[in-house]
Structure 1
Amino acid sequence: MSLETQLVKICSISDLPRNSAKGFQVGELALALFNVDGHVYATSDICSHEDEYLSDGWMEGDCIECPRHGARFSLKTGAALSLPATKAIDTFAVERKGEDIFVAIPLKFLQQQGA
């Protein structure tokens, strides 16, 4: 598996108010950004237990709870913290440049199919 990434501008910090979450589609990746007291985390937006958008879930500290069955994940590591989820979610490096939020997106999500 390639670890190559590309830094992609996702949004401005003003688009992601403090203590909120928002989902984005970046190429083939469903991405979620979480602003926890001014610190931005990026994860896959899809619960590893069942296809549900985590950005629609409930944030508590640096954890997100899936809105469907209550599985909890660490926003820092992606680790599954409670059942029914047993598999971690992907996390991605975040860089803030001025007011802009950039995320290191693996190239496999950005490459066009059949190109």
Structure 2
Amino acid sequence: MDKVILNRMMFYGYHGLFPEENKLGQRFTVDVELMADLKPSGTSDNMNDSIDYGQVYQVVQKVVEGEAKDLVESVAEQVAQSLFQAFDLLKAVKVYIDKPGPPIPGYYESVGIEIYRERQDYD
């Protein structure tokens, strides 16, 4: 399957279980792999036959910088759902969300979650 990939998009959000996370917020980085048939756009050289990177960024930004969620898993699920709603060409998506410096005991560079969804998961 062909892919459109956006790496290390950075956003500021207020997601987490702890009150300080909801109050102070923190940085999140997001990677997405969007699976679609890109042969038509490769042949036509027409953006209408592909998935616009700028629009992908805007969709992800709206979710991550939007309503606070307790779990990063919920954020990722909403990102996936929103991408399927925005792009008819999208067949499957992988979403990775990285949360640097989580406020939990121990020393971590980051924690993250990754989900993979197909269009039929939402039919």
- TM-score of the superposition, structure 2-length normalised? 0.32
Q: Whose strand proportion is higher, 1 or 2?
A: 1
